[in-house]
Structure 1
């Protein structure tokens, strides 16, 4: 009996806690309140915005190209000979000045040629002098012979009268006639010699001119034995030494001029159009009175073009002011770009050690060409333009989608033609998804706005 009581007691003790738990859970369920119903509330999406502003836009185009010297001198001897002397600066990388003697070729052969030709000229001049004297002598002799001929003629006439009166013999008359003919022949010989003198003189004068030309050529060849530097330049290559024979027409060195550096940059036609669209607000049309202004030497002033050349090489950044020189005559068939040649004047005078190096051949540079400002245009960042539309926040901070037409694009922004006015809140955040009418919490991005204005009006670089 005691054992049964113990078992009953154990079971009772096990069931009692379970009953208490069930009663407690039931009480909690009955006392539980239903879910609290809250009113619906729209969450605003936080976005960055800028306030659109109108500004004078400076159209700019960026291109790239390699530096070439404005002048290149191929040092080519015009006469052959052995090199007997070179300038101390006849070395790659050295600078030489205009008028310096760079190379001297052995002049002895050319001096001898000059002397020989001078002797030939002197010989012909002496022969001309002799001919002039001979002409004077012939003229004097002719006067004498003509007087003697007149006397012989009078004597012959007297003998003719005497012969008719039988005062002289036939042989005496024949002798008088022979004397007359002899004197006539002598006078005619002198006249013939005088007639030949002008022809002889012309021949000698022609020979004199020929030898004078040879003398001038010989003297020119003698001067050519000294190769003179034609302009300030820098030696870029040498291929001759003292004692080496230099044949005429074969290059012995190359030098680049230091006065100017040129960059031939390629720019897409679409980028150049905003720079060249108008003069004084009026387009230039073919056949107008202004067509003659399109000469290359006036384009810079006509369109107000300004050029800046930049070099970026690692941590080194340098820039130069440049001038628009000319445009290429053709369009590149593959890239459809227009070649623009710009010039930097006196690049070696602008060297700043460690800051601005000289512009040398094959240096790769960026070229920025800017035109006259276009008055009061709204600009927007490229990231805010979505296939012909932009997003703005209206006065109720709701997202609105607006169609926009652009005029032209620069590297980081578009210039708006129509569809967007100043003082609108332009959304510059990338909204995904962008649902028209959604509530926005706009935050003004002043840094982006200031950077955009600085790029548009030309106060900062465009990239």
Structure 2
């Protein structure tokens, strides 16, 4: 019996071990296969592309300047006996207006004397002409068949007296001009910059009385870069050209800021300068502001000479272009387009830019959805979905 037990015990141990292993295999957790997780989609905002016309606006800056500025001077000497109320700094005057008067008494006397001298010389000429006529009659009564010479007919005396009359006329004309010059009248409608004389002050011939400038229009000198020069119609002048300006000169908006307020004046480009800056390659053009002190601008501050202003110049109009935000342009001048849940790159050409937008033309079609969300580096064909509003 003991011998039988020694033989059966190992067999029972082996069977028990097998049953335990089978049980453990059946009770162990089974690993489950999972599908590969989907790649997350990009959330994007889009803008529907529209082909459109775009008016280029060029920005430049310059200073207001007068097209005509001169110094009023005394053409005769004397004492200032009258000054107009408009003859002071900042005042306006009209063309032909009497601004100042120099004491005319001495010049009136000079005119009287010159007229008297002219009358005397004219009388002397008439007497000399009468003597010449009498000399010719006397020569004829002598019966000499030879013609009378110039001395007999007193022609040299007549010529001398005619010269004296002409000289007297010239002195009278000069005296009248000097009398007229005692009245200082405005050569144009303008504004006084500064006054340099006072009432009862004695002035010499050629002495400065005041400086002034014309107010029919003002000019602003504006620099244009090489890129800007290509985008605007610049008025050019040529020899023997009857029409120096284009039929439609470029419009300009002159903007001046006073604190938080902004004021505007309409202007036009009228001409360009003859010299291109050799260092910056900039070309200066002149914008003209018509009647800047007229009734149309009474509700805003007047422009001052030397005032710094901004100019918005109407450039050329681009056709069939796309206007996109700055956030939509990627390196190498590419944009992203959303289509069928994916984004793809399109090549564009940058034509213009303003502070908020780019103007482009290229591999784009109207109606496509442009991605406006800045995404950084994105692979071609990446999955994307529209951001919920």
Scaled to the shorter chain, the TM-score interval is: 0.7 to 0.9
Q: Are the aligned partners of 1:293 and 1:299 in contact in 2 as well (CA < 8 Å)?
A: no
1:219 matched residue in structure 2: 176
**Partners of 1:430 and 1:294 in 2: how far apart?**
54
Q: RMSD of the TM alignment (CA)? A: 3.3
Residue 95 of structure 2: which of 95, 98, 105 is its match? 98
Bigger share in strand: 2
Change (3 A) 1:340 1:442: farther
Corresponding position: 1:128 with 2:125: yes
CA offsets 1:232-279 (integer angstroms, 9 cap, x no match): 2221211110122222223211222222121111121211312339xx
**Partners in 2 of 1:209 and 1:397 — Cα distance?**
102
Structure 2 residue 6 is the aligned partner of structure 1 residue 49 = no
Aligned equivalent of 1:332: 277
Give, in whole Å, the separation in 2 of the partners of 1:52 and 1:294.
Answer: 46
Structure-2 residue corresponding to 1:15: none
Confirm or deny that 1:137 pairs with 2:134: yes
Shift of 1:323: 2.0
Distance change in 2, residues 1:319/1:32 (3 Å)? farther
Aligned to 1:394, the other structure's residue is in SS state strand
What is the aligned partner in structure 1 of residue 197 from structure 2?
240
TM-score normalised by length of structure 2: 0.81
Aligned to 2:303: 359
Evaluate the alpha carbon distance shift between residue 318 and residue 296 of structure 1 in structure 2; reply closer, same or farther with a 3 A threshold.
farther
Deviations 1:44-95 (A, max 9, x none): 2223322221101212221111112333242112222221211122211222
Residues 393 and 426 (structure 1), Cα distance of their counterparts in 2 relative to 1, 3 Å cut? same
Q: Distance in 2 between matches of 1:91 and 1:59?
A: 44
Q: Distance in 2 between matches of 1:403 and 1:417?
A: 9
The Cα of 1:35 is off from its aligned counterpart by 10
CA contact (8 A) 1:378 1:421 kept: no
Looking at structure 2, the residues matched to 378 and 339 of structure 1 have their Cα atoms a distance apart, in angstroms, of 31
More helix by percentage: 1
Runs (5+) with no aligned partner, structure 2? 1-26
C-alpha distance in 2 between matches for 1:427 and 1:109 = 87
In 2: Cα distance, 1:256 partner to 1:344 partner: 14
Give the drift of 1:123.
Answer: 2.1
Asked whether the equivalents of residues 138 and 194 of structure 1 are also in contact (C-alpha less than 8 Å), the reply is: no
Instruction: Give SS of 2:339's match.
Output: coil
Please give the residue correspondences for 1:436-447 in structure 2 after superposition, counting only pairs within 5 Å. Answer: 436-443=380-387
Question: 1:41 Cα shift?
Answer: 2.8
Which of the numbers 232, 235, 253 marks the counterpart of 1:308?
Answer: 253
Residue 206 of structure 2 corresponds to residue 249 of structure 1:
yes
Q: Which has the larger radius of gyration?
A: 1
Q: Distance in 2 between matches of 1:400 and 1:101?
A: 77
1:298 aligned partner: 245
The normalised TM-score by structure 1 is 0.69
Query: What CA distance in whole angstroms lies between the structure 2 residues aligned with 1:200 and 1:411?
Result: 88
Q: Is the 1:390–1:426 Cα contact (8 Å) retained in structure 2?
A: no
Whole-angstrom distance in 2 between the partners of 1:61 and 1:113: 62
Residue 435 of structure 1: how far off its partner (Å) = 3.3
Residue in 1 that maps onto 2:23: none
Say if 2:135 and 2:152, in contact at 8 Å, map to a contact too: no
How far residue 128 of structure 1 moved from its aligned partner, in angstroms, is: 0.6
Name the CA distance, whole Å, in 1 between partners of 2:367 and 2:384: 17
**1:231 aligns to what?**
188
Q: Which residue of 2 aligns with 1:459?
A: none
Equivalent in the alignment of 2:312: 368
Question: Which runs of no fewer than 5 residues in structure 1 stay unpaired?
Answer: 1-29, 151-187, 278-290, 446-463
- 1:373-452 equivalent positions in 2, closer than 5 A: 373-443=317-387
Counterpart in the other structure of 1:323: 268
Q: 82-91 or 389-398, which moves further after superposition?
A: 389-398
